[in-house]
Structure 1
């Protein structure tokens, strides 16, 4: 099954989203980053999923495990929470794309497990969109993917 990791980045200066598509062995197929214009984190997270699923379909990857560290975006798409009215058209676009997939799962993952997508979403690409393939990945991204493939263990600390 193809894995699509998605994330968004929203700062005072810019909004962007991105993702990485990996095969069933964990090897990267491609990554994408897009300058966004939505001013909400859930909206940007949903745009990342929309763009990633579009890429999967275009490349004939029709069995997809979608992973996001946005619990709200995951819950919206899984139907466990109501979607804000302003995001209904975006949700409808995503669910229409889902009809083209042979199998899908939408899973929430902890931020630590989504570091490659977080790195891509935070890349400063200027305006527009960039698509990257493994030979062109920045070294920091290569290391994050390797850590993920090696199943690096992360420990969360509880703060009081």
Structure 2
């Protein structure tokens, strides 16, 4: 399965979301970041899932493990809770898109193990939308990915 890590970011002046797609050995295939318009971290988390799944579909990666550090987003998409009315249309779009995948799972991961994705969600593109291929990865992102691929242990504080 391909791993699709998703994350949303909300600061005082910016809403954005991003993600990374990895192969089974943990190597980065692609990264993406987009500016958001809705000032809600839950909405940004779900937008990352939608855009990431759409990107996987376009790349013909139809067996995916969607990973998010937002437990709320994960339980909403997995149908364990309904979620607020403001995200129902977005939730429906995600669920509809996921029907097109051969295998899929949506799982919660700890924030510490999602640091490359957090980097992407906070990455300032200025133009609003960017897909980044491996040869163009920022060095800081590649360093975080290398730590993860080498099974670096993270400790919660």
Which of the five TM-score ranges fits, normalised by the shorter chain?
over 0.9
Are residues 1:139 and 2:139 paired? yes
Q: Which residue of structure 2 lines up, in the alignment, with residue 152 of structure 1?
A: 152
1:88 is displaced (CA, Å) by 0.5
CA RMSD, Structure 1 to Structure 2 (Å)? 0.7
Q: Which residue of structure 1 lines up, in the alignment, with residue 101 of structure 2?
A: 101
Structure 1 residues 1-160: aligned runs within 5 Å: 1-157=1-157
Gapped runs of 5+ residues in structure 1?
none
TM (norm. structure 1) is 0.96
Q: Deviations over 1:131-153 (max 9, x none)?
A: 10111001110010001111110
1:125 is displaced (CA, Å) by 0.8
* Secondary structure of the structure 2 residue equivalent to 1:146: helix
* Secondary structure of the structure 1 residue equivalent to 2:30: strand
1:127 is displaced (CA, Å) by 3.4
Gapped runs of 5+ residues in structure 2?
none
1:64 is displaced (CA, Å) by 0.2
Moved over 6 A (4+): none
* Secondary structure of the structure 2 residue equivalent to 1:46: helix
* Secondary structure of the structure 2 residue equivalent to 1:90: helix
TM (norm. structure 2) is 0.98
* Secondary structure of the structure 2 residue equivalent to 1:88: helix
